[in-house]
Structure 1
């Protein structure tokens, strides 16, 4: 089955947020005063502080939902082995799931029953389209 590695993710995902002018001004003031190197540093720190504050809830939820935490890779050979064994894969992850570039849409549809990713799913556009009805 897939190789599962639990490690910090080196990749990052870009997000866009809208802030009120007062909040943005306060962030800029903290940056100017040297508390943070830039706006991004402030926002990352705030997010880390909140996830740390809710660490126990996150841990319990990950365990309850049986989510794989970290990086989960699915290669063509992983999915071919599942097909040969008559197995269907249910992907439940918090972090990053990568479906190899050489996985065909047909193989993905034959072997992947469902995908729930809290984080990032990396797969070809064709595989994502083939699995669109199975991605939650």
Structure 2
């Protein structure tokens, strides 16, 4: 079945994003960094995001349950897809976190066995598999 792991916040397990801030907000952040409240801008932003996520934790949990989403790392292996194909099952993969399709999964096998894939976070797969699933990625 599903191979699910909880992700820890480590540099290698992250996705880079870009945000635009007003000059005054940025100045406030820099002031807090200068005063030693945070080690740098990134530390401030990560802390602010974690605080917001914590304040909405119940709503997030309810949504995950309501939408039957998997939380953390969802690894999709060639063996899992071959088993699904043998059983005539098509997967509907829904993940909050990281969905990773193994490198040995062929585009044809992915198309034959994955009906839809919804990822709130990041999808790691070969360029060819992503292209094969492009119309099924939500």
Q: What range describes the TM-score normalised by the shorter chain of this pair?
A: over 0.9
CA distance in 2, matches of 1:25, 1:93: 36
CA distance in 1, matches of 2:2, 2:60: 24
Which of 119, 122, 127 lines up with 1:120 in the alignment? 122
Residue 80, structure 1, aligned to residue 72, structure 2: no
Q: CA deviation at 1:43?
A: 0.2
CA distance in 2, matches of 1:9, 1:26: 25
Residue 104, structure 1, aligned to residue 103, structure 2: no
Q: 1:2 — aligned with what?
A: 2
Q: SS at the partner of 2:79?
A: helix
Which of 20, 31, 39 lines up with 1:29 in the alignment? 31
For structure 2, the 5+ residue unaligned runs are none
CA distance in 2, matches of 1:104, 1:120: 20
Q: CA deviation at 1:62?
A: 0.5
Q: Is the 8 A contact 1:2 1:75 kept in 2?
A: no
CA distance in 2, matches of 1:5, 1:88: 22
CA distance in 1, matches of 2:129, 2:7: 25
CA distance in 1, matches of 2:44, 2:128: 37
TM-score, structure 1 as length reference: 0.97
TM-score, structure 2 as length reference: 0.95
Moved over 4 A (4+): none
Q: CA deviation at 1:131?
A: 0.4
Q: CA deviation at 1:4?
A: 1.9
For structure 1, the 5+ residue unaligned runs are none
Residue 67, structure 1, aligned to residue 79, structure 2: no
